Chain A
Amino acid sequence: MIRYLLRRLLYAVPILLGVNLLTFCLFFMVNTPDDIARMHLGVKHVNHAAILNWEHSHGYDLPLFYNRHETSWHTLTDTLFVHKSLSMFTLHFGLSDDGRDIAREIRQRAGPSLSIALPAFIIGLGTNISLALMLVWMRAGLADRVGVIIAVALMSVSGLFYIIGGQFVIAHLWRWVPISGFVPGVDSWRFVLLPIAISVIAGIGNGMRWYRSIFLEEIGKDYVRTARAKGLDESRILFRHVLKNGMIPILTGAVAVLPLLFMGSLLTESFFGIPGLGSYVVDAIQSQDFAVVRAMVFIGSALYLIGLWLTDIAYGWVDPRVRLS
């Protein structure tokens, strides 16, 4: 298993390199270093000398991939790609183009993002499983049919509607919690309550339907029939046997998402004024801050790979029939 995991870890290197190269090409296909300088200096009274100076001081005055003014291997290493993109592999993210330390910024923003994403994920998982089991318990009845209809209805509603509607009803009309804002520490619960609740509710439709189908598939299997034949009651069958076996695809799916929770949610954080990572990369794209874009894409892709890696481990852990080799 360890050899398998190490092999997967090595596979990650070319993938990350490819993602880095792709990000670099896409970014500089749309924006030239001149554009980036102009975006940072503004358009008023800025002359060409100021642009050159900005590019020089921020290291954007190098050629993209090949430096014909250099000799030997410096022709390839003294380039924007090596200086700006490959340095990511040393986990040295440097300063953003507006002069803030990216690693520090990520550390500062990760906490608020996780304070919503993690509880929303755990509570959402618990709620969806419970509701799905309930529907399976009452399967083929009126409650099951109504439950499925409600789930489809919940899935059909846009995520933005949940946020705006939730803010309007809970925070504006009923005035239970602040509409938006954040404070660090224990008192943050007042601010994260509504976004967590909305995230959970917005995910119920999808989750409940998916888990219901997983449990329904399980409930038709032979071991369930055997359990019934042995005289076990329905609830014990559901909670002891079906749940346990149904958890295999659920857990592996959940583990894959786990590392990405760190990246936060753009919409939720924007509407609730949460100073998280959700909007960091979008803001950076808008302000053409390549330093932040490259760092966040690198971290995002690395986390995704970690997620897949953890999924593999989880398979082996929850299902003894799976052996990693």
Chain B
Amino acid sequence: MKAAVIQFPGSNCDRDMKVAIEQEMGAQTILHWHDDAELPIDLDFIAIPGGFSYGDYLRSGAIAARSAVMAAIVKAAKRGVPILGVCNGFQILTESGLLPGALMRNRDQNYICRNVDLHITNNKSIFTRGYKEDTQISIPIAHHDGNYFADEVTLKSLQDNGRIAFTYIDNVNGSQANIAGILNETGNVLGMMPHPERAIDTKHGGTDGQKLFRSLVKELA
């Protein structure tokens, strides 16, 4: 199994993501710099990590979403390669159009860094099938722009098609419909604000993120 973690100037969860993929998926994991337009063709999994790509200039994720590697990521998404975007990675996925909606400044203007309780809203996806239906997990968040917005039509389509993967039990940032993570139409692209890679070791204070990576292993095996 082969995975890539995409790095942008300002990414800061790239190393943690690599460790999580290696430890929980046993995948050979490369770090891929954004200005290299050619991604290896034999990747089984691509992760876009958290951080502050380009210093969040213009809008969070806006400039990274227009970088050279993104065309290859869009192509991989169309081929069905599983793609996970966490935090800034989620912002990059919405800015690139791979996921609908936008992530705006948190409702209360604060940067929020703490563990939050999440509801597994869809446990049928390739990323979430290791979790039991309707369970609650605790995963850290660390963001300023995680307030999910989509127009009513998009929101209804997400709800009706089981594309909301995770919701916040308490709406910490003002997201519509408490959305913490969503899937694309074909279910192979997941964007989420919480950081599963920061919850894979008892020393992290919790291991609720493990099942996300392990679900993928089962899918790819």
Q: Tell whether A and B belong to one assembly.
A: no
Interface residues of A (CB under 8 A from B): none
Interface residues of B (CB under 8 A from A): none
